Chains A and B, each alone.
Chain A
Amino acid sequence: MTPQAWTLARALRLAILSVGALVFLAPYVWMLSTAMKPREEIFSSSLTLIPERLAVVENFSKAFTRVPMLQLLMNGVIVCTIILVVQVLVALPCAYALAKLRFPGARTLIAAIMLGLLVPIHATALPIYVALSGAGVLNTYFALAAPFMISVFAIFLFLQFFRAMPDDLINAARLDGMSELGIVLRVIVPNAWPAITAFSIFSVVAHWNDLFWPQIVVTETAMAPPPLGLIFFRAAEAGDDYGALMAATVVVTVPLLAAFLLAQRRFIEGITLTGLKG
Chain B
Amino acid sequence: MSGLALRGISKAYGDNHILRDVTIEAQPGEFVALVGPSGCGKTTLLRIAAGLDHADRGSVWLGERDMTAMRPSERDIAMVFQSYALYPHLTAGQNIAVPLAMRDLTIWQRLPGIGNLMPSQRGIRADIQRRVLETARSLRIDHLLDRKPGQMSGGQRQRVALGRALVRSPAAFLMDEPLSNLDANLRVHTRAEIVELHRRAGVTTLYVTHDQAEALSMADRVAVMIGGRLLQFDTPEGIYSNPAHIEVARFIGSPQINLLNGEVDAAHGVRIGGRLLAEGVNARPGTSVTVGFRPEAIKLGAPEQAGLIASLRRIEFLGSETLVFIDLAGGGDTLVAKLAPSDATAFALGQAVTIMAASRDVLVFGGDGARLSVSPPMRMVANG
Contacts and interface: CB of A to CB of B under 8 A. Distances in A.
Interface of A: 166, 168-169, 171-178, 182, 187, 190-191, 273-278
Nearest to A172: B85
Given A273-B89, A274-B88, A275-B149, A178 B73 contact: yes
Nearest to A170: B85
Contacts of B151: 275
Contacts of A178: 73, 102
A186 B89 CA distance: 10
B206 to A, nearest CB: 14
Given A168-B83, A171-B85, A176 B98 contact: yes
Contacts of B150: 275, 278
Interface of B is mostly: mixed
Max chain B CB contacts within 10 Å: which of A274, A277, A278?
A277
Given A190-B89, A274-B88, A275-B150, A175 B79 contact: yes
Contact of A273 (B72, B79, B88): B88
Contacts, number: 66
Nearest to B149: A275
Interface string B51-77: 110000000000000000001110001
Contacts of A168: 81-83, 85
Given A171-B52, A175-B77, A166 B85 contact: yes
Given A172-B81, A278-B150, A177 B88 contact: no
Contact of B102 (A177, A191, A273): A177
Q: Interface residues of A: mostly helix, strand, loop or mixed? A: helix
A92 to B, nearest CB: 15
A216 B370 CA distance: 80
Contacts of B73: 174-178
A175 B89 contact: no
A174 B77 CA distance: 11
Given A171-B81, A182-B102, A275-B148, 10 more contacts: A168-B82, A169-B87, A169-B88, A171-B52, A173-B98, A174-B52, A175-B99, A176-B98, A178-B102, A275-B149
The 9 closest A-B CB pairs, nearest first, are: A275-B150, A177-B102, A168-B85, A172-B85, A177-B73, A190-B89, A168-B81, A176-B99, A174-B72
Interface residues of B, number: 27
B111 to A, nearest CB: 10
Contact of A175 (B78, B83, B88): B78
A166 B150 CA distance: 15
Contact of B88 (A173, A176, A276): A276
B189 interface: no
13 contacts: A168-B82, A169-B85, A169-B88, A171-B85, A172-B85, A175-B73, A176-B164, A178-B73, A182-B102, A190-B89, A275-B88, A275-B150, A278-B150
A241 B151 CA distance: 58
A166 B161 CA distance: 15
Nearest to A274: B88
A273 B89 CA distance: 7
B50 interface: yes
Contacts of A190: 87, 89
B200 interface: no
B88 to A, nearest CB: 5
Contacts of B164: 172, 176
A191 B72 contact: no
Contacts of A174: 51-52, 71-73
Contacts of B102: 176-178, 182
A90 B87 CA distance: 24
B79 A172 contact: yes
A168 B178 CA distance: 13
Nearest to B181: A277
B79 A166 contact: no
A273 B148 CA distance: 9
A173 to B, nearest CB: 8
Given A171-B52, A176-B98, A275-B150, A166 B78 contact: no
Contacts of B88: 169, 191, 273-276
B115 to A, nearest CB: 13
A218 B61 CA distance: 64
B85 A177 contact: no
B82 to A, nearest CB: 7
B164 to A, nearest CB: 8
